[in-house]
Amino acid sequence: MLVTVRSYSEELLGSLGFELVDMEYLASDDRGALRLYIDRPEGGVTLDDCVTVSRQLGALLDVEDIIPFRYALEVSSPGLNRPLKRPKDFLAHYGKKIKIKTKMPVDGRRRFIGILQEYSEADGSIVLDTDAGCCTLDVANFAKCNLVYEFPEPGK
């Protein structure tokens, strides 16, 4: 089901000039939530953009009757601390601070914060420069990976 929803979403978003950054489905007993995080290559996303996508995608999903149970459709921007999941996400954010939580411990740790130095598509790994030095982490082991937005110091 989610593969089909992703396919419809990506096609509609592409026609509107947006891209799908992430999608998740949160199940509950009475009503699930389908969350889409969208972005635009240039200029970011406005509230009006989210409303437009929500209305058009909601209508499409209702007509196609892909989701056979009650759900709420939520559309938003990925925010300042956007998730990094796809190769292009890592490639676009070299030199930025990121926070990672791994599924399995690496050298006894599951949480890492540092500067993204490299991404290797060949083996799906990154090099992260942390306070403890550089380390190589396997993206397949990431439970969560996000940008860490650093607010500018006042007066600078």
| Of 97, 93, 70, 85, nearest in space to 37 by CA | 85
Average pLDDT over residues 32-56: 91
pLDDT over 90 (residue 116): yes
| Superfamily name and number for 2-76 | RimP-like superfamily, N-terminal (3.30.300.70)
Q: State residue 55 phi and psi, 5-degree precision.
A: -65, -45
Domain boundary assignment for the chain? 2-76, 87-147
DSSP state of 83: B
Confidence of residue 156 (pLDDT cuts 50, 70, 90): low
User: Tell me, what's the pLDDT at 153?
Assistant: 81
The CATH architecture assigned to 87-147 reads Roll (2.30)
Round to whole Å and give the CA distance between 111 and 31.
32
Q: Say if pTM beats, i.e. exceeds, 0.75.
A: yes
Average pLDDT over residues 106-111: 93
Whole-angstrom Cα Rg for the chain:
18
